Amino acid sequence: MSAEEDFSRSVVTEPHSGGLIAEAADMIGAAGSIVVSTGAGMSRESGVRTFRGEEGLWKEYRAEDLASIEGIRKDPALVWEWYRERLKACQELEPHAGYYALVSMQNGKGILPLITQNVDGLHQKAGVKDVIELHGNLRTASCIDSCGVSRVQMTGDLFEKLPPRCSCGSILRPDVVLFGEQLPEQALSRAFRLADSCDLMMVIGTSMVVYPASSLPLIALRRGVKVIEINPEETPLSSLDGVLSLRYTAGSVLPELVKAVYGV
């Protein structure tokens, strides 16, 4: 069993306290425009490792070596090995029940835009619509020297010879947001607009330590909008006024919430 698969089994899903679920379900049922924001914890029960915490990737690897332009230039083969493994894991893994609960919520409530820090594509794989990828994705790669040649698909043959090169000769870099880079302007401004206009925000599986994603629920709270947090661990968001923090895993509580709201 791979390390990723181990992670998906290490999560304990305790029985839920009905009161909090009912309260969250009432908030979802009453809301007109919900925005969902997810982090790496959303993918954990599908077997994708989180970045921080006991079993996080950044305990085993140095982020600056693997997720920065300097890291890619310094050792492109190592970085591409790492992304090849991550992409392979994401392609082989399946969305858990929590993703399908989000699809049901979108169908029930109309299209809820979903903002994610994740690059694994699992939301789209489950059929979640209108996904705003703040940190890019693992679907394409582009020239590290921005030569202007169009980006390429990150498919198997790209990895035959590492590091993959652009037709201009420079090495390619995955189209994820690397440390020190700006986030995609369109995605970010839309995320801020949604935080500024929703009447309920759900924050699922993020440690709330990376800006600007971590500022989105604060924008909503400042407007008097309630936030539902789903995370088995406490975060800086958990104890803020206006936050209903469900100390559960995404894969276990999202289906419960949908059942409580829609009876399905």
Q: Are strands 152-153 and 136-143 parallel, antiparallel or unpaired?
A: antiparallel
Establish whether 135 is a catalytic residue: yes
DSSP, res 68? B
Distance of CA 61 to the CA centre of its chain: 19
Of 19-78, binders to ligand APR (CB under 6 A) are 39-41, 44-45, 50-53, 56, 63
Minimal distance in Å, beta carbon 98 to ligand APR? 7
Cβ distance to ligand APR smaller for residue 135 or 139: 135
CB of 83 to ligand APR, least distance (A): 13
Q: Of residues 95, 163, 205, 255, which one binds ligand APR by CB under 6 A?
A: 205
User: 47: which residues sit within 8 A by CB, 6+ positions away?
Assistant: 2, 4, 5, 7, 8, 89, 93
Q: Establish if 249 lies at the interface with ligand APR (CB under 6 A).
A: yes
Residue 124 or 170 having the CB closest to ligand APR: 124
| Interhelix angle 250-262/18-30, nearest 10 degrees | 60
Tell the smallest beta-carbon distance from residue 167 to ligand APR (Å): 28
**Residue 207 binds ligand APR, judged by CB under 6 A:** yes
β-bridge mates for residue 228, sequence order:
202, 244
Q: How many residues does the chain have?
A: 264
C-beta neighbour count of 144 within 10 angstroms: 17
CB of 46 to ligand APR, least distance (A): 9
Please give the C-alpha separations between residue 74 and each of 67, 71, 158, 178, in angstroms, as whole numbers: 12, 5, 20, 14
Q: Does 11 bind ligand APR (CB under 6 A)?
A: yes
CA atoms within 13 A on the CB side of 62: 8
Query: Burial code of 123-141, b = ≥16 C-beta within 10 A, e = fewer?
Result: bbebebeebbbbbbbbbbb
The strand pairing partners of 68, in sequence order, are 179
Size of the site for ligand APR (CB under 6 A): 27
Among 16, 86, 123, 135, binds ligand APR (CB under 6 A): 135
C-alpha 115/C-alpha 195 separation (Å) is 10
Of 235, 243, 245, 256, the one binding ligand APR (CB under 6 A) is: 235
Binding window for ligand APR (CB under 6 A); candidates: 28-36, 143-151, 206-214, 237-245: 206-214
- Among the options 16, 96, 123, 135, which is catalytic? 135
Q: Which is nearer to ligand APR, 34 or 250 (CB)?
A: 250
Which residue lies nearer to ligand APR by CB, 80 or 99? 99
Residues that bind ligand APR (CB under 6 A): 11, 39-41, 44-45, 50-53, 56, 63, 117, 135, 205-207, 209-210, 230-233, 235, 249-251
Question: What residues are annotated to the active site?
Answer: 135
